[in-house]
Structure 1
Amino acid sequence: MEYTEEIVHIDELDKKILQLITKNARIPFLEVARECGVSGAAIHQRVQRLLNIGIVSGSEFIVNPNKLGFNTCAYLGIFLEKANYDKKVVEQLKEIPEVVECHFTTGAWAIFIKVQAKSNRHLKKIIDTDLQAIDGIARTETFISLDQVFKRQIPIS
């Protein structure tokens, strides 16, 4: 069984709406309507449709980890003892609050995670105490981010 994501085609109005709401998730629908030259009700219906078909999912406030004292960002490649441990390991990774992203990958690692820690010492504790205690993890490889230069969404065009 092959997994493929269904590609959804959208029109120019949907693209314009996406450009506006991805720049500012708090933009009022009436302002989006003015920019697009349609009614507020039309924008509401379009955004609801985009949510329903899965092009966008919700909206969120982004917490700045540094402002809360989480000053170390690290990426860890995880080597598994056996490939079939992947789901069991991921379930245990979900229990570590500092693990903020988790990806299955190709290449050297089976899993790649992003960790937000308060310090290098805190990161070491997470690795030594939390990660290495998970059955199925053979070893990890750590990369500390010095600074996030930019982060963006895919272009809407």
Structure 2
Amino acid sequence: MDDIDRKIVGLVQVFGRATNAEIAGACGLSVSAANDRLKRLQERGVITGWSARVDPDAVDLGLLAFIFVEIERTEHNERFLAAAALMPEVLELHHVTGEWSYLLKVRARDTKALETLITGRLKALPGVARSRTHIALSSAKENGALPIAEPEDD
């Protein structure tokens, strides 16, 4: 990726609805050149999809929690990952270092729905030894944009 690609990726992360003409103008390209670069970034897997950010409270998913999960033996990892990845409440699923095996970021309607997820579905999976849940009281910042470095001025 060159500096122009980085600028395009940075722009579409923040302004996903920007037109090709707006992207071209911001990057000093023709519209067709900007369109070609966007297509190539998608084909190479740099841009993996397009979506809208939705207010969780507006769709009754205001409870945000982080769940640490310990898997007792590594042979259970694959089945756990496959099952957890299919749960719509699980927004992120990370293999982590330390005493825990995985960290999950989840959204739920309320504590009852969270309890059902944890006790009825996650802990029911083979190999889950224990979990620890932290509920977020508020979020000062929450977005999915990566810190793409802008090219430095010479």
| 1:103-128: CA deviation from partner (whole Å, max 9, x where unpaired) | 11111111111111111122112112
Which range moves more in the overlay, 65-74 or 49-58? 49-58
- Secondary structure of the residue aligned to 1:139 is strand
**How many pairs does the alignment contain?**
148
Q: After superposition, where does 1:64-83 map in structure 2 within 5 Å?
A: 64-83=55-74
Distance 2:82 2:27 in 1: 44
Match of 1:59 among 30, 34, 50: 50
Q: Are 2:120 and 1:156 aligned?
A: no
Q: Summarize the alignment of residues 104-123 of structure 1 with structure 2, pairs less than 5 Å apart.
A: 104-123=95-114
Contact 2:6 2:148 in 1 (8 A): no
> Comparing 145-154 with 106-115, which one deviates more in the overlay?
145-154
Q: Which runs of 5+ in 1 are unaligned?
A: 1-9
Which digits, 9 at most, give the CA deviation of each residue in 1:3-61, with x for residues without a partner? xxxxxxx2222222223222201100011112222210000111111122222212111
For the aligned residue pairs, the C-alpha RMSD in angstroms reads 1.5
Normalised TM-score (structure 1): 0.86
Contact 1:78 1:140 (C-alpha < 8 Å) held by counterparts: yes
> What is the TM-score with the length of structure 2 in the denominator?
0.87
Aligned partner (choices 5, 17, 21) of residue 30 of structure 1: 21
- The answer for unaligned runs of 5 or more in structure 2 is none
Does the aligned pair in 1 maintain the 2:12–2:18 contact within 8 Å?
yes
C-alpha distance in 2 between matches for 1:122 and 1:144? 13
Matched, 1:93 2:89: no
Higher relative contact order (CA 8 A, sep 6+): 2
Match of 1:5 in 2: none
Cα drift, residue 135 of structure 1: 1.3
- The C-alpha deviation readout for 1:66-110, integer Å capped at 9, x for no partner, is 111112111111011212211111122134221221111111111
Q: Aligned partners of 1:43 and 1:91: how far apart in 2?
A: 37
CA contact (8 A) 1:16 1:36 kept: yes
AA of the residue aligned to 2:48 = S
Secondary structure of 2:47 counterpart: coil
The share of aligned pairs that are identical, in percent, is 28
